């Protein structure tokens, strides 16, 4: 069984939202580690190589699109990227992010959809979108 740090990395500058998401993920039976900025996220990815990253698209230090591109460029391409945003696909920036990530979720996150994503075998999760 993977360690909590390697199961899911939650990247969100909103502390309450990030901790609520971690609690939800843990309630679903998954381990998770929370960081609140991209610099800490990159350190965590280098140290632990998480299987999945759930990222807030709108963060003050780095745009979610840039972060997703960096993960794809510099790290294991099998890391499952799950973007969370309040913007729909009609938003050009969000639509560009959706093209890079494996899954995208709109706020408020539907627990059932998140659970289906997390329960997918990792090889099957690649390349699909929700």
| pLDDT of 127 strictly over 50 | no
The pLDDT, as a whole number, for residue 2 is 55
The pLDDT, as a whole number, for residue 4 is 52
pTM of the prediction?
Answer: 0.85
51 in any annotated domain: yes
Query: Count of residues for the chain?
Result: 130
Question: From CA 127, how far away is CA 100, in angstroms rounded?
Answer: 9
Structural domains counted in the chain: 1
19 in any annotated domain: yes
Cα–Cα separations (whole angstroms), residue 52 to 90, 91, 92: 25, 24, 24
Residue bearing tokens 């929700």: 130
Determine the structural domain holding residue 33 and report its residue range: 4-125
Residues 6+ apart with CB under 8 A from 89: 95, 98
State pLDDT tens for residues 52-87.
Answer: 999 998 888 788 888 999 999 999 989 999 999 876
113 in any annotated domain: yes
Q: Which two tokens stand for residue 45?
A: 């990815």
Q: If you average pLDDT over residues 11-37, what whole number do you get?
A: 94
CATH number at residue 30: 3.40.50.2300
130 in any annotated domain: no
């Amino acid at each position: 069984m993977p360690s909590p740090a390697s199961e899911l990395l939650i990247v969100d500058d909103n502390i309450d939202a990030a901790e609520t998401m971690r609690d939800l993920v843990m309630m679903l039976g998954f381990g998770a580690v929370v960081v609140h900025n991209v610099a800490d996220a990159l350190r965590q990815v280098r140290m632990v190589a998480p299987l999945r990253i759930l990222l807030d698209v709108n963060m003050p230090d780095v745009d979610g699109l840039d972060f997703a591109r960096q993960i794809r460029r510099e790290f294991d391409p099998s890391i499952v990227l799950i973007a969370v945003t309040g913007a729909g696909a009609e938003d050009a920036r969000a639509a560009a992010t959706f093209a890079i990530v494996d899954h995208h979720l709109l706020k408020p996150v539907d627990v059932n959809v998140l659970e289906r994503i997390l329960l997918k075998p990792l090889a099957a999760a690649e390349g699909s979108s929700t």
